[in-house]
Amino acid sequence: MARGIEIREAHFPGRAPIEAYGNGGFRFADMSHRGSILCLPSGIYGWDVEEDAALTLARFEKVMAETREIEFLLVGTGMEIRPLPAELKAALRAAEVSSDPMSTGAAVRTYNVMLAESRAVAAALIAV
């Protein structure tokens, strides 16, 4: 019995520095991904968020599930820096996670440095 192509949620099981970004995606671990990504302790996931999307707490559900292993969350908000909504900041603060919104480029660079220092860092990166 022939099987069709199985479409799975994008996921890289591990931590890896971001090698490149731009043109609507990211390169890491010798792979490329079109669209936004979440870089979490459990791996790198595709994230269905575009630059003009509201940064609701619901969009950060996967991040909130791993807050025990995260001290810093870098949020790459695209080309422009956008503040995080009060509800999201409060939820992160309650979980003892420091959050910092910045342009996606700055977030990628900061994430790579903190990852190299073995810090408890995660990143939510909106594709540019």
Q: Is 5 inside any structural domain? A: no
Percentage, residues of the chain above pLDDT 70: 92
Q: Is 2 inside any structural domain? A: no
Provide the domain limits for residue 106.
11-125
Q: Is 1 inside any structural domain? A: no
In whole angstroms, what is the distance from residue 26 CA to residue 14 CA? 16
Q: What is the CATH number of the domain that holds 27?
A: 3.40.1230.10
Q: What is the pTM of this model?
A: 0.91
Q: Is 53 inside any structural domain? A: yes
Q: Is 116 inside any structural domain? A: yes
Output the pLDDT for position 1: 47
Average pLDDT over residues 109-124: 97
Q: pLDDT of 15-63, one tens digit each?
A: 999 999 999 999 999 999 999 999 999 999 999 999 999 999 999 999 9
Q: Is 6 inside any structural domain? A: no
Output the pLDDT for position 102: 98
CA-based nearest residue to 101, from 124, 118, 119, 121: 124
How many domains is the chain built from? 1
In whole angstroms, what is the distance from residue 109 CA to residue 119 CA? 14
- Alpha-carbon distances of 111 from 1, 7, 75, 102, rounded to whole Å: 45, 29, 10, 11
In whole angstroms, what is the distance from residue 28 CA to residue 66 CA? 21
